[in-house]
Structure formats: C-alpha cells, structure tokens
C-alpha cells in the first residue's frame, strides 16, 4: 500500500532523522480525550496534533463543523510540530485512521509527498509491547513551505453546479442510516446530497482493524469509473479522508474532497436534501 505503513515499518524507522510521528487521537464526544491519552502514553517522539485546535479552522456560519485551516495557519502548525518539506510523517490515532487521515490529507493538500497513516493505530502498537513514552516531546521547530494542490479540493458551489452531471460521482462516507436520513446525531438536518452514493468509510478496514489491501478496496468501488470525477464527503470532512486514501489505493486518480461536507451543505437553506436509498 502507498499510504499505509505497518507497525513493523515504523519500528524500523524510529532512528530516521527526518521522521516525524504525529499522534492524532481525538474523540468528538470528548474533545480533550485525545490529549489526555497522549499525555498518558504515546509512541516515543510523537507530537500531538488536535483535530479541532490544529487540524481545523474557526467554525463560522458556513464551512461545516471542521472547516479547513487557512494555508498560513497550516504552515505554522506544521512548522511548530517540527514538520519540514523533507520530513517523513507518520500519523496515527485510535479511531481506525479517521483522524490520522485528516492530517494525511492536509499534508498532501499542501504538496507533501512522504506522509503515511499507521495501520491499526496506537492500541495495536501497545498490544505488541512496543515502546511508549509519557513525557511531552521536545520539538525542534522547522520551516514549511506550501505548494497547494487545488485539484484535491472542491467547494460547495461547485458541488451544487455538478449535481446530476454525467461522469461525476458523489460519495457519502457516513454510516448508512445517516446517509438515508433515518438518524442524525450531530447535524441539524438528516439526509444526504441528492445523487450521492453511500460507501461507509469503515468498510475500508478489515474486521481485525487493519486497512484492506488494494484489491479489496477496488472491490468496494468496483461499480465506479476509474476515469470518472469522484467527490467524497462525510459529516464534516474528517471521516471522508479515509475513503480518499482507499480510493487512491484502489487506483482512482480523480478524487476530490468536499471539505465542508454535509454540515456545510445544509448551512445553505436553498440546497436540496435527499433521503432514503438512491
């Protein structure tokens, strides 16, 4: 796999001077839980990056629950975390890769090549008896220069324009009941963007927690055109990012993230909403 690395791979890279390990653990129902878990124990050398404080911008009327930080803010965050353009970054969490994938996407969007998500996450590292640290790591600040990859992102107005267009597929990454509009635990409106198909992001993981291989990811998306334009979204642009990785692993090249996602879409009263199966 191109974007996922194993526990063994990371263990063997620990002495690599260019390595930066990022702990991205975060719980939506308890925003401080990730930092507490990091302070309790983490992979040696890891810096902590908070989904809402470091990997999201300020919440406003539009932009969704986890809007993208602006480019300058991202360069500052990465520099403070010791990430330079030459760094090999490995992100991990304990949420199936959802939070780590957000950092992976942000770095790719900024033009970073060597960024990976750790397979199976921190608990697996712990369960294998691999070393952990408890002290806060001393970080050597770096310099980060962005080369923004605008082709990775799509904004709301373009999504609205493209509704129903041939060759464009919208992929909703949330659980099926939320997609169908039967439940909505977080956002004020239930349903999905009209025309979207549902591919729950966690279906990219095996039952044992590791990421599925490329062939199995291809099976998940077998009905989609490899040359088609794919737009991926979720509730707030976070759990869509594991699906972006899965699609890349499956060989799709025209994959864009609608970062504002459902929570941004419904912030515009005139936007249509669908429910049930498409």
47 with 23: CB under 8 angstroms?
A: yes
At 197-211, the pLDDT tens digits run: 999 999 999 999 999
pLDDT for position 278: 84
Classify residue 202 as left (phi > 0), alpha (psi -120 to 50) or beta. alpha
Of 107, 37, 256, the closest CA to residue 168 belongs to 256
Per-residue pLDDT band for 176 (boundaries 50, 70, 90) equals: very high
User: What is the pTM (predicted TM-score) of this model?
Assistant: 0.97
Quickly state the pLDDT bin for 1 (edges 50, 70, 90).
confident
Catalytic residue ranges? 234
In the predicted model, is pLDDT for residue 56 greater than 90?
yes
Q: How far apart are CA 36 and CA 216, in angstroms?
A: 35
Q: For residue range 132-142, list pLDDT tens digits in order.
A: 999 988 899 99
- Above 90 in pLDDT, residue 11? yes
């Amino acid at each position: 796999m191109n974007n996922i690395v194993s526990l063994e791979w990371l263990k063997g890279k620990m002495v690599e001077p260019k390595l930066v390990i990022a702990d991205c653990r975060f719980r939506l129902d308890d925003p401080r839980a990730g930092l507490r878990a990091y302070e309790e124990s983490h992979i040696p050398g890891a810096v902590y990056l908070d989904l809402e404080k470091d990997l999201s911008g300020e919440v406003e009327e539009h932009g969704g629950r986890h809007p993208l930080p602006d480019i300058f803010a991202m360069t500052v965050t990465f520099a403070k975390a010791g990430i330079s353009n030459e760094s090999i970054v490995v992100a991990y969490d304990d949420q199936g890769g959802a939070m780590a994938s957000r950092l992976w996407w942000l770095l790719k969007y900024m033009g970073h090549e060597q960024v990976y998500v750790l397979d199976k996450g921190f608990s697996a590292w712990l369960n294998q008896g691999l070393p952990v640290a408890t002290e806060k790591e001393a970080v050597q600040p770096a310099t980060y220069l962005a080369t923004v990859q605008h082709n990775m992102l799509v904004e709301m107005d373009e999504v609205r324009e493209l509704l129903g267009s041939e060759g464009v597929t919208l992929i909703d990454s949330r659980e099926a009941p939320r997609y169908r509009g039967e439940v909505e635990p977080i956002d004020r409106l239930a349903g999905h963007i009209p025309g979207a198909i549902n591919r729950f992001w966690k279906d990219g993981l095996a039952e044992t927690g590791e990421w599925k291989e490329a062939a199995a990811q291809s099976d998940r998306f077998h009905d989609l055109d490899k040359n088609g334009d794919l737009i991926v979204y979720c509730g707030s642009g976070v759990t869509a990012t594991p699906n972006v990785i899965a699609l890349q692993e499956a060989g799709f090249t025209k994959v864009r993230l609608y970062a504002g996602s459902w929570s941004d879409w419904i912030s515009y009263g005139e936007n249509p909403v669908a429910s049930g199966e498409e």
